Each structure stands twice: as structure tokens, then as C-alpha cells.
Structure 1
Amino acid sequence: MFKILFLLFIVVPLLELYVLIEVGSAIGALPTILLTIATAALGGLMMKYQGIQVVQQAQLSLAKGEHPQQQVMEGMLIFIGGVALLLPGLVTDFIGLLLLLPPVRVYLAKRWLARAMRQPSASSHYVHAEWTVRDEESGRIEYHQVSRRRSDANSEQSGRIIEGEVLDDKKN
């Protein structure tokens, strides 16, 4: 965590300052400022249209009964790109614009999702069950719910075998 904070608060601003000074000395101060403003404005427009497109794709996925994981990840990357564009500087503008390009964003979202699928989640160590039982005499329906931490979360057979028995007391 320290490395990430160090990069964000020390290295990135110094890099931004260096790039702004170099670009400013090459093309002048006013063109550098206008370039920074233009990239932010272009990025804002791209963010708006890319965001609308991703929301529409997510709605289509939901209509098909699919989970919109890819679209959620892309939406998060659009948001990160938008935040990067709000920060003053050409390096963060470049990173923000990269995150708004659909091929780059799709690639990063797929890699992030693939990585997340390989890592076991914290919720995989819990078992959750719910069921209803109807009392034949009174007609009352009882709802039961149980959530427990699995004690054998590291075993190979964990979560693979479910033993049970269904009893039917109805008389034919």
C-alpha cells in the first residue's frame, strides 16, 4: 500500500511537472496550457459517450439474463479515466485517454476479470442455504436460512459433495 501511495503522491506529480516543463520549453507555455485543457475537454466528451455505450451494453446483458461483469469493469475504468483527465498534467491526461479507448479498456477489463476468477474470494469459504417448509395441518409456511463458515475450506472435497435425504410423509 505504501508503494502505491508513494507513486500517487510523489512520483506522478514529479513526472507531471517534468513533462509539463519539457513540453512547455518545446512549444511554449500558452500552447502547453491549451493542450492540457483540450485533452481534458476531449476526454470529458469521450467519457460521456463511452459511459452511455457501456450502460447500454450492461442493459442488454441484463435483458439476456447474463451478468454484466465486463460492462461493470469497463464502467469502472471509464470512471478512473475520467478522474485521471480531471487531474492537471499531460501524463495523467494520456493515461485517462488510454482508459477511454474501447480496445484498451476491453483488454484491461478482461484481464482484471480473469485474474479475479483465479483468486479465491472471501465468500467462497461460506455456505449459505435457505428453504421453506409447509406444515400440512396448519398450512403455515416456515422460512429457514443458515449461513456458516466452512471448517474444511482448504480441503479438496470442500463444496463438491452434498449429502441429503428427502422424506415425503404424504400417504398415497
Structure 2
Amino acid sequence: MTTGVPTPPRPTRSRPGKLRRIIPLAFVAWFVLEIWLLTLVADAAGGFTVLLLLVAGAVLGGVVIKAAGRRAFKNLSAAVQQAQDGALPQSPRPGEGSGLVMLAGLFLIVPGMISDAVGLLLLLPPVRGLIGRRTERALERRMAAAGGGDGFLGDAFQQARMRRPDGKVVPGEVIRDREPAPEQDGPRPPLTP
């Protein structure tokens, strides 16, 4: 028996993309390769040497992350000071920020030979600069494709939107230049287009 009320269509599930299928397999392959390399080094140099390498990598990674965090905090406080003085804070050039250095420290902390090699490569300034420039260009392309506009963040701040209770999106901003009036005879009627 039907009641005359149409049933909403079922949401269709999108098929997972290639990247969603490849990433877990890549992590498993990386994990297996790391274990295999550790066993090869343990056979050649001994288990104690492998343990020392893993501990040294973790300690070096912690030192790198700590130094990068201090530098990031120093850059942040300098930018805040510049903003308080009325000057525009300068953004670091690609590869000069602390993000890739922290990522290098994280790779050094993760046990394994490949992750240590990647971490050490990321500590080299030319490699960080190259990766930083490529990442920034890729992010700019994605932002432009998503309608982000001209700059790095484009018009992201101008695309702020308010959602009404009926689900409609209204672009704009709210500017209050006086105190709200006290409530009169009940709530205000809803806005209608």
C-alpha cells in the first residue's frame, strides 16, 4: 500500500578512486621493504648495529622536530610583531618553512632505512626548496580549478557563506554598526527571497 509520498532516491556510492586503492597497498609494500632491509642490515652488521641505527634515527628526528618547532614559533612571533607594527608579514619562500623540516624529523623517527633516507634527503635545502615549490604550484592549480581565484588562497576569504535554515546559501557578510534593538512582540519573521 502506498501513501502517495514519494520515497527519496537512495544515495549512490561513488567507486573509490585509484589513489584510495593504491595508498594502502603502498604502505604495506613500504612496511615489508623496511623489514626486509632491516633484516639484511642485521645479517651484515649485526642486530646491535641495527638497534643503534634505529635509536640514532629516532633521537635525530626528535632534535630536528624540536628545532623546527622553535623556528616556527620564532617566525610566528616575528610575524605577529610585524602585524602589530602595521607592516605586512612576509611569508617564507617555498622550502624555507618548518613544515618540511618537521616532516623530515618524522621520517627519521619512523623506524626503517628507507624512511631515514627520505628524512635525510628532506633535510637538504635544495630538496626542500624543490618539493616546496612543486607543492605550492600544485596547490595553486587545485585552488584555481576549484574557483579559488588568482592568488595562493585566491578569494577564499571572500567566499564566506551563511547558511539559512532551509539549506540555501547566501553569500555575504554581516556588519553590525549599532546595538541590536530589544525584542518586540516576539521573534522576527524569517527572511524570504
Whether these two folds match at TM > 0.5 is yes
* TM-score, scaled relative to structure 1: 0.61
Structure 1 unaligned spans of 5+: 135-139, 143-172
Cα 1:67–1:130 change in 2 (3 A) is farther
* TM-score, scaled relative to structure 2: 0.55
More strand by share: 1
Contact 2:108 / 2:116 at 8 angstroms: preserved in 1?
Answer: yes
Instruction: Name the counterpart of 1:34.
Output: 52
Residue identity matched to 1:6: L
Contact 1:54 / 1:71 at 8 angstroms: preserved in 2?
Answer: no
Percent identity reads 27
Cα 1:83–1:43 change in 2 (3 A) is closer
3-state SS in 1 of match to 2:43: helix
Compute the RMSD of aligned alpha carbons.
3.3
Residue identity matched to 2:59: A
Question: What is the CA-CA distance between 1:53 and the residue it aligns to?
Answer: 2.1
Instruction: Name the counterpart of 1:104.
Output: 127
Name the stretch that deviates more: 101-110 or 117-126.
Answer: 117-126
Question: What is the CA-CA distance between 1:20 and the residue it aligns to?
Answer: 0.7
Counterpart CA distance in 2 for 1:17 and 1:105 is 27
Deviation per CA, 1:76-102: give whole Å up to 9, x if none. 323333332332212112222333444
Structure 2 unaligned spans of 5+: 1-19, 150-158, 161-170, 181-193
Contact 1:20 / 1:32 at 8 angstroms: preserved in 2?
Answer: yes
More helix by share: 1
Residue identity matched to 1:37: V
Alignment of 1:54 onto 2:105: no
Instruction: Name the counterpart of 1:114.
Output: 137
Give the paired residue count: 136
Contact 2:64 / 2:101 at 8 angstroms: preserved in 1?
Answer: no
